[in-house]
Amino acid sequence: MRFNERELVSLSRQPSEMAAEMGMRGPKKGDVVKRRLVKLVVNFLFYFRTDEEEPIGALLLEQCRVEKEDSQTFSITFLDETEKKYVFECNSEEQCKEWIDSIIKASYEFMRRNLIFFRTEIHRLTGKDPLEQYGISDETRFQVSNGQLLKRRDTSSL
154 pLDDT more than 50 = no
pTM value is 0.74
Average of per-residue pLDDT across 20-25: 97
pLDDT tens digits for 113-143?
A: 888 899 899 989 999 888 887 777 544 545 5
The answer to which of 29-33, 55-59, 147-151 has the lowest mean pLDDT is 147-151
Q: Which domains does the chain have, with CATH numbers?
A: 5-106 (2.30.29.30), 111-151 (no CATH)
Q: Which of 99, 118, 110, 121 is nearest to 47 (CA)?
A: 99
Interacting residues of 119 by C-beta distance below 8 A, sequence separation 6+ = 129, 130, 131, 142, 144
Measured distance CA(108)–CA(38) in Å, rounded:
20
